[in-house]
Amino acid sequence: MNNPGIDLEIWKQLRKKWSDLDASGHKLKIDFKLIAHPNDENNILAIDVIQNIDHELITETVERNSGEADTMLGIAGLSAERLIDVYKEIMHQLHRQAKQKDTDLIVTMSPTSLTSGDVRGYLQKSNSDVRSSAPVNYQHYYILKALRRKMTQDVGVSSKVKAVYRSDNLEFYFES
């Protein structure tokens, strides 16, 4: 794969993960989506590595440089309150597209390096363990990473961010 300035170590980790999963008999399908600067399609800022592992969607967003796309996405310098408002709208749209009432939309983001993170989304029936994968992309990664950074400044270290959207309400959980 042509590496457009993205940390080779991340690709090695992903390749090992896929080899181990394949050797263990898991079903894998991997797709890539390049995230280019809107004014220059050859300027690749990040890559979404969309992994379908045993019918569970996991998106690993891999940045070229940490925070480089924040300005392009319009989130550079936003307060925590404004980031929450922006993210609530993204979650509202995704929940509406799913067309499943009485479900919670849950998205988690766990950093895997300074320039990448594992993002998982799923719909879960209220008061049930039944859930199905929901497609997520780089927007979730960048906003949750920015919120995580703000919360780390305010309350200390956290590694995983969990966002739960239900009935037009959004809650965040920061885990270490």
Q: Domain residues for 157?
A: 71-175
pTM for this one? Answer: 0.88
pLDDT in tens, 10-30: 888 889 999 999 999 999 999
- Among 17, 42, 65, the domain-final residue is 65
Indicate whether 134 belongs to any domain. yes
Instruction: Looking at the structure, tell me whether residues 77 and 156 fall in a common domain.
Output: yes
| Inter-residue contact 147 to 111 (CB < 8 Å) | no
Co-location of 170 and 149 in the same domain: yes
Q: Is pLDDT above 70 for 69?
A: yes
For residues 58 and 142, membership in a common domain is answered with: no
- φ, ψ dihedrals at 17, nearest 5°: -55, -45
Please give the average per-residue pLDDT across 68-96, as a whole number.
93
The whole-number average pLDDT for the span 30-45 is 91
Instruction: Return mean pLDDT, the chain.
Output: 89
One domain, residues 90 and 19: no
One domain for residues 60 and 101: no
User: 16 and 98 share a domain?
Assistant: no
What is the mean predicted confidence (pLDDT) over 148-158? 73
Note whether residue 3 is domain-resident: no
Last residue of a domain, one of 22, 42, 65: 65
Burial 110-144 (b: 16+ CB within 10 A, else e): bbeeebbbbbbbbbbeeeeeeeeebebbbbbbbbb
